[in-house]
Structure 1
Amino acid sequence: MIPDLAEADQRRACDLFSPWGALGRVLTALRALRLKTVFLGCTLLMACAPAETPPSRASASLATDLPPIRTFATRAASPPLRSNADMARDFLDLHFRLEGGTTMPVFTRFEGPVSVAVTGAAPATLRMDLEALLTRLRREAGINVRLRAPGEVPASVTIEAVSRARIQRLLPHAACFVVPNVSSIEEYRRARRLPQTDWKNLRSRERLAIFVPNDVNPQELRDCLHEELAQALGPLNDLYRLRDSVFNDDNVHAVLTGFDMLMLRATYDPSLKTGMTREEVAARLPAILSRLNPAGARRASAPLPQTPSAWTSAVETALGGSATRAQRVRAAHTAAHIAEAQGWQDHRRAFGHFLIGRTLETSAPEQAEAHFRTALNYLGTGPDTAPHRALNQSRLAAYALRAGNVARAEQLIDTAYGAAQTSQNAALMATLLTLKAHIAESRGDHRRATALRAESAGWALYGNGPGAVIALTPREVAAAGPSRRR
């Protein structure tokens, strides 16, 4: 999140991937499934196993049957699938505008090597996820970025881990944020109303600080690292029209995508430098993108229209934790109506229906199901919207299971699981594995059900945190059958 004096009260749509956000609540709203939460009186497991490595039970320090926390291997993202002409427009809008609409007069980036320091009470997973992110930034974006050597001061970027409450005392709606020209949250507290910490006054990047919560689940912390470090290094704006980027406050994508890496690689291309105007950067972009992404030069332009502020405001209200349920319902419908009036046929049209479905899951499940189906109709079949589809497919799978349509549920679960795995959404993976376990249990395959529950628990520890692991009993699966549908 990019705060400045004019934009400090902007909402961050962080609900989707919070421990009890939309993904953690895929089944909660479906009362027929009778979701049960098991609270674990334990601390976070320190042993972390990549997805490809069988987790060692000996590495778990708890006297329980839970496996170690699961984590993701470091992998490069797939390249973007849009035209370079469209991505040049995106690059300019990301760099030369702030979220509140302020126009930036010049292009900025770090000039020279970038060092990163970690301060505060950092959880064990922070360093692991940060090192994986820095590796990707070096390999995929070509940025000379590394952890600061001992005794080396000051760092270009300081990542300070503090409590969520301390972050929200400064920015009430922020999950995490990045600020220029400071190196600690205390320094920011003293200077927060001074021109030096206002992004619209930025003319060069020398020293920035990122503030992340140290009392949230590992996935939420990792998501903050990806977005805030990317914005510390490059683009300052977020655009709802981007369907394949973390620079989008719908938070569907949580780790840097191929599009994001291309934007960052272009940001640090030798042809650009701090102080250039929008016109100067625009003149160089076609050659830069053609060199970095030759496939994009052969793709036809299909630009999406700008997003009106009324739609953005409605979405932020529908996602906002401070709004009442009635306000969220009205805002979700407003977003859908605006998208229809605009004639959109893209992921933003789908997102309005997804938001309506979320708000109706408990009170009107049949209407909610219809909206999730409608959302899928606007998401196509391409990989860039696979995470969007998975959000809806996971919910539709629960409805199918409740209706006794196990074959349909399995199809939806498998499709959504592949997308969740590719987009590194452990919370959704845990939920889908739990559903698969109950299907196996209902068929009498107890060994497979046990294995799926163990795998689900490992991913839930990363995606939901150690305080909650989703569990359903066979009796509750039976309650999801057709005889209990209503």
Structure 2
Amino acid sequence: MTAGRPPSSGHRIAAALRAASLAALSVVLSIALPAGLGAGVAAAGPRRAVTSDRGPFTDAQILRGFAAVTGAAEYATSPADRIRRFEAPVRVRIEADPRLGRAGATRRAMVEAVVADIGRGIAHLDLRLAAANEPANLTVRLVRRRDFDAAVAGVFGPERARTILARLAPLCVSGFARDDEFRITRAAAILAVDVSAFDVRDCAYEEILQALGPSADTDAIPWTMFNDRVRTGRFGRYDRYLLNLLYHPRMAAGTPPAEARAIAAAVLPEVRRRVETRPEAGHRRSPLGGRAVPEFRH
């Protein structure tokens, strides 16, 4: 790095996460797959209409999903079966690579809308964009697809990047650092944004939400975006149940699985009332003025 020049966003995120590792924190990665997944990847398959995430859902279906997405994450660097979540306000900074040109501003506006929708959709989480001089603990980096692999290696390290990129062909990735009490202290997401508006929105929702704690992907729950086969491009009702359970005041970082399930069952009636009386904002049309975006699976 040239003396006197400010560090790039990638260097800042990487340095922060490396510092977290030195403090005995663990980093958990989550991955979203692109629509055009190539042959040879297990998750690839023909596109089909996504199973509706609008319900109605039984208590058992919601609680099963909550247990699935808050369980151990595939890329965790240490045991992670307890509840992981932010216990402090979440301030989000969006950093667009200047090489995106005018598209960077357009995609930034899309991601800002996603952040606002998530902030409205989770009752007991203080989440919003960081002000200009305000420190951020969740950074979302927007890059060109051709620069994505290098960005992932720069933030999460070459070895882990090779594992992810050799196995999958993701358009986006996120991770977080947690302390010994399972409190998330810092998170980062990288999104390739010179792709379709639907892919940008779908990635932004999944990666920002997974950076909040539900980092375990599941193939068993067909209504959640945390299923790699599901593409919705919005914060649907089913996932609003799950995130509102995770951030309910009776839940806490470090809660063991059995206790977390009992708390979730106890507060579910309250969460149902909250979610069902505040319908999702929905992003059925592209902010770029295109046609309504279909839901699909790949």
TM-score, normalised via structure 2 length:
0.65
Matched, 1:114 2:93: no
Given that 1:14 and 1:251 are in contact with CA atoms closer than 8 Å, whether structure 2 keeps it comes out as: no
**Alignment match, 1:98:** 73
CA contact (8 A) 2:90 2:128 kept: yes
Larger relative contact order (CA 8 Å, sep ≥ 6): 2
Native 8 Å contact 1:118 1:159 kept in 2: yes
| C-alpha distance in structure 2 between counterparts of 1:110 and 1:7, whole Å | 14
2:240 maps to what in 1? 261
2:219 maps to which of 240, 249, 254: 240
Does the 8 A contact of 1:15 with 1:22 survive in 2? Answer: no
* Rounded Cα–Cα distance in structure 2 between residues aligned with 1:127 and 1:7: 25
Root-mean-square deviation (CA, aligned residues, Å) is 3.7
SS of structure 2 residue aligned to 1:209: strand
Of 210, 213, 216, 2:189 maps to 210
2:129 aligned partner = 147
Indicate how the Cα distance of structure 1 residues 7 and 106 shifts in structure 2: closer, same or farther if over 3 A, else same: closer
Contact 2:144 2:193 in 1 (8 A): yes
Is contact 1:177-1:212 (8 Å) kept? yes
Q: How does 1:69-468 map to 2 (within 5 A)?
A: 80-99=55-74, 104-121=80-97, 123-142=104-123, 143-153=125-135, 155-169=136-150, 170=153, 171=161, 172=165, 173-181=169-177, 203-293=182-272, 424=284, 459=290
* 1:188-215 superposed Cα distances (whole Å, 9 cap, x missing partner): xxxxxxxx8xx9x993211111001132
Distance 2:126 2:36 in 1: 32
Rate the CA distance shift 1:240–1:278 in 2: closer, same or farther, 3 A. Answer: same
Q: Do the aligned residues in 2 keep the contact of 1:168 with 1:175 (CA within 8 Å)?
A: no
Structure 1 140/205 Cα, relative in aligned 2: closer, same or farther at 3 Å? same
Cα distance 1:219–1:253, how it changes in 2: closer, same or farther (>3 A)? closer
Given residue 177 of structure 1, which amino acid in structure 2 is its aligned partner? V
Relative to total residues, which structure has the larger helix share, 1 or 2? Answer: 1
Q: CA deviation at 1:226?
A: 0.5
Unpaired stretches in structure 2, ≥5 consecutive residues = 1-25, 39-44, 154-160, 276-281, 294-298
Q: Distance in 1 between matches of 2:274 and 2:27?
A: 39
* Contact 1:16/1:252, CA 8 A, preserved across alignment: no
Kindly state the Cα deviation for residue 251 of structure 1 after the two structures are TM-superposed. Answer: 3.0
Structure 1 residues 223 and 257, CA gap change in structure 2 (3 angstroms): same
Shift of 1:107: 0.9
Q: How many residues align?
A: 229
* Other structure's SS at 2:267 match: helix
Say which structure is richer in strand: 2
What is the aligned-residue identity percentage? 24
**Gaps in structure 1 of 5+ consecutive residues:** 24-76, 182-195, 297-421, 427-456, 464-486
Determine helix, strand or coil for the equivalent of 2:231: coil
Q: Secondary structure at the match of 2:139?
A: strand
How far residue 174 of structure 1 moved from its aligned partner, in angstroms, is: 1.8
Paired residue type of 1:145? L
| Rounded Cα–Cα distance in structure 2 between residues aligned with 1:139 and 1:255 | 13
